[in-house]
Chain A
Amino acid sequence: MNRVVEKEYFSHAVVMLVVEAPRIAKSRQAGHFVIVRIGQKGERIPLTIAEADIEKGTITIIVQKVGVTSIKLCNLEEGDYITDVVGPLGKPTHIEKVGTVLACGGGVGVAPLLPIVEAFKKAGNKVITVLAARSRELIILEEQMRNFSDEVVIMTDDGSYGKKGLVTHGMEEVIKREQIDLSVTVGPAIMMKYCTLLTRKHEIPTVASLNTLMVDGTGMCGACRVTVGGKTKFVCVDGPEFDAFEVDFDEMLLRLDSYKPSETEAYESFQKKYQKA
């Protein structure tokens, strides 16, 4: 049981939770994630550790309401407990000084991107960050990103904030004027696929952080498997970061929808229950 010590809304659908987990706070590195479960009937879902405070013994997770579990999480208040939190899981991000890093995040992909941006900046790189979302209220962590980026480019689909256009438009604009040594992409699978098509065209080495479905997070089940360079890999233990040029994003996109009908059903029945309560 881990207590929620702080809660902040980034938008109506995106919530930041600071959770007591002293061991994890101490052991975690950029790129690591945790698996959480809410309630005895809950499922296990992976969430990136956005930040950690060793002194306070807390980790920060950022959650977007997308399904049953993320909504339950967003409904927790300060002082409530998360039933299970286990981690830190996955391999940490490989950080080195490469020169200029183009970091691209969309949707909740922005949360896992934050520690990566911070680590690359601290390693002495020039970091240009592109944040993308559908509209202004879905742009999150802008201020935190600015702390660790030399430049932040904001893109919205509807043009309500920053420039109008997709994440790839923002990237292209940067690629035209800068020599980019490494690109990092984190976000919905479809976004990472198109970011990768673009960087491949420009021959910029690219790392993608994958957010597959998971159960245990320790390599025990294979729910998280993806094809990388023609081989089956387990995202929870071999990843979550991979050479984006090698990732079979189409397969990943299909697998992410494995439970679409049943998750929607579960979500609807949950909403009904919740509205009654």
Chain B
Amino acid sequence: MNEGLLEFLKKEREQEWRLELRSRVKNKERTLLERVHMPEQEADIRNKNFSEVNLGLSEEQAVLEASRCLDCPKPTCITGCPVGINIPKFIKKIEAGEYLEAASVLKETNALPAVCGRVCPQEVQCEQVCFYAQKLDKAPVAIGNLERFAADYERNSGNISVPKISGRNGIKVASIGSGPAGLAFAGDMAKMGYNVTVFEALHEIGGVLKYGIPEFRLPNQIVEKEIENLEKMGVKFVKNFIVGKTATVEDLQEEGFTAFLVGSGAGLPNFMHIPGENYIGIYSSNEYLTRINLMNAANPEFDTPVISGRNVAVIGGGNTAMDSVRTAKRLGAERAMIIYRRSIEEMPARVEEIKHAQEEGVEFLNLHNPVEYFADEKGTVKSMKVQKMELGEPDASGRRRPIPIEGSEYLIDVDTVVVSVGVSPNPLIPQSMEDLDVSAWGTINVDKENMQTSIPDLFAGGDIVRGGATVILAMGDGRKAAAAMDRYIKGKVRNILSLIKEFNTIGEILDFAR
């Protein structure tokens, strides 16, 4: 943590209300409290419905959990947060019963706290470096659950604060894509007075938050509320508009857009390219989840169909795989299986998702890898051949490399397969702009300080820069890009002003411009 920040945090910590809170309960007593368990739907009930699994903390539970936080002099938790939320401050506001204040502390750095409280991998971020986990070997303070509590409290109170907009400057800027990167960018630019338009290729706003992450983990209504707020701040949303296809960036420049954020995500699904992968009933996780989440295929009143069978195998170990397999279970699968080539410890999914999936009756076939699919005469998948694996030496990612065990292959009956082995960057924008500097993996190269691309008017953030990453990182990128774009545009205006000083009359300027 840098000196200046520590100094600032120290001062804040010495404020009257913080001192008073700390004096109320001894640290010793605080550390004796058990971490409050997040209330959730019973596993046997929730695996048949799409309502949210986690029910949220009550006020009493939130205050109790908040009182576990020791308000450390060196709050390491902040260093674990990709956007540097002032964690002790918002938690102490909860302990003090000032929930709306807690929410506004969150919003100083996090544009989407209700979303992040639900989907951030806290166990490898803030909570991992919490004093409890680091020094006391105890369950960390439930920072994520508290974040969710404060954000939900504010939303349910009907008192959502719409941020003040500093004088509108009328300068037109655009976000390409409406995922967390685009939404966070739009919010900050609108606050600074810019005229913001968000272009989205699909018929719904929200990116992965809408079409990917299912209702039982992140209800759409929460995303809708955030979008509504942005609309209140004057942000315009244009759906069914693919930048690079419907109109190019150059077209939009001609229409007066000064600068752009590319937040187009990592939308391209990877396949494994093994025999039989194109049989009917084999989906990418993007297709499976999009059919169900965006197109409502599981509801017979909607036109889009989906095949979700009795024996469903989901290939992969990330959040997307967990979301797919838990969705399959909810749609009536008798066997909903995860097939993953490493062990459970190496799974990239959030720990909570893995735990929830296990409780809901998902089978985990770890150290297994599919090698071939077989179909009936109509081309519908009916079984898959899997091979067992063992772990060898660590590879470049530091995880132990899975090695196939010869002769261990066997068949599993399946009628639906969901391939969830990662995504690649969306190539639409890079393809439509020759001068854009792109990496060998197809991600857009930016300077990390400003998120600016090789084309100065174009900034980029989120999965299109990082490959498949996280909501909080995408959001942080969007905000960083907004701040940098503001500096960039102001710099440009200053240059123009200094030029204009050389002239004596407007007539001279106009003459020169001609």
Chain A interface residues toward B at CB < 8 A: 23-24, 26-27, 37, 41-44, 68-69, 83-89, 215-216, 218-223, 225-227, 232, 237, 251, 254-255, 257-259, 262-263, 266
Interface segment among B21-29, B50-58, B298-306, B366-374: the answer is B298-306
Are B202 and A27 in contact, CB atoms less than 8 angstroms apart?
no
Partner of A216, one of B202, B239, B241, B248: B202
Given contacts A218-B242, A251-B278, A254-B280, contact A43 B295 (CB under 8 A): yes
Among A23, A86, A87, the one with the most B-chain Cβ atoms within 10 Å of its Cβ is: A86
On chain B, the residues within 8 Å of A258 by CB distance are 280-281, 307
Given contacts A84-B239, A221-B269, contact A255 B379 (CB under 8 A): yes
Given contacts A27-B246, A86-B203, A88-B246, contact A257 B378 (CB under 8 A): yes
Partner of A266, one of B278, B303, B307: B303
Whole-angstrom CA separation of A221 from B201 in the bound complex: 14
Among A68, A216, A251, A263, the one with the most B-chain Cβ atoms within 10 Å of its Cβ is: A216
Are B267 and A222 in contact, CB atoms less than 8 angstroms apart?
no
Query: B431's closest neighbor in chain A, by CB?
Result: A237
Minimum CB–CB distance from B312 to chain A (whole Å) comes to 16
Whole-angstrom CA separation of A89 from B240 in the bound complex: 11
Whole-angstrom CA separation of A254 from B286 in the bound complex: 21
Are A43 and B267 in contact, CB atoms less than 8 angstroms apart?
no
6 A/B residue pairs, CB under 8 Å, sorted by A: A86-B201, A86-B246, A216-B201, A221-B269, A237-B427, A251-B379
On chain A, the residues within 8 Å of B284 by CB distance are 221-222
Query: B375's closest neighbor in chain A, by CB?
Result: A254
5 further A-B pairs in the complex, CB-CB below 8 A; given A23-B246, A221-B284? A41-B301, A42-B302, A83-B203, A215-B290, A255-B280
Are A216 and B278 in contact, CB atoms less than 8 angstroms apart?
no
Among B279, B302, B304, the one with the most A-chain Cβ atoms within 10 Å of its Cβ is: B304
On chain A, the residues within 8 Å of B281 by CB distance are 258
Are B245 and A215 in contact, CB atoms less than 8 angstroms apart?
no
Partner of B245, one of A89, A216, A251: A89
Whole-angstrom CA separation of A214 from B303 in the bound complex: 13
The 7 closest A-B pairs by CB, nearest first: A254-B379, A221-B287, A86-B240, A43-B303, A220-B267, A43-B304, A222-B284
On chain A, the residues within 8 Å of B273 by CB distance are 232
On chain A, the residues within 8 Å of B286 by CB distance are 220-222
Query: A234's closest neighbor in chain B, by CB?
Result: B268
Q: Answer whether residue B343 sits at the interface, using C-beta atoms and an 8 A cutoff.
A: no
Q: Scan B271-293; emit 1 where CB is below 8 A from any A CB, else 0.
A: 10100011111011011001100
Minimum CB–CB distance from B268 to chain A (whole Å) comes to 6
Are B278 and A255 in contact, CB atoms less than 8 angstroms apart?
yes
Are A222 and B302 in contact, CB atoms less than 8 angstroms apart?
no
Whole-angstrom CA separation of A227 from B304 in the bound complex: 24
Minimum CB–CB distance from B303 to chain A (whole Å) comes to 4
Given contacts A43-B303, A84-B203, A227-B278, contact A222 B242 (CB under 8 A): no
Whole-angstrom CA separation of A205 from B310 in the bound complex: 45
Q: Scan B33-62; emit 1 where CB is below 8 A from any A CB, else 0.
A: 000000000000000000000000000000
On chain B, the residues within 8 Å of A37 by CB distance are 203
Query: A88's closest neighbor in chain B, by CB?
Result: B245
Are B280 and A215 in contact, CB atoms less than 8 angstroms apart?
no
Given contacts A221-B284, A255-B280, contact A86 B241 (CB under 8 A): yes
Minimum CB–CB distance from A68 to chain B (whole Å) comes to 5
Q: Scan B223-252; emit 1 where CB is below 8 A from any A CB, else 0.
A: 000000000000000011110011110000
Are B278 and A232 in contact, CB atoms less than 8 angstroms apart?
yes
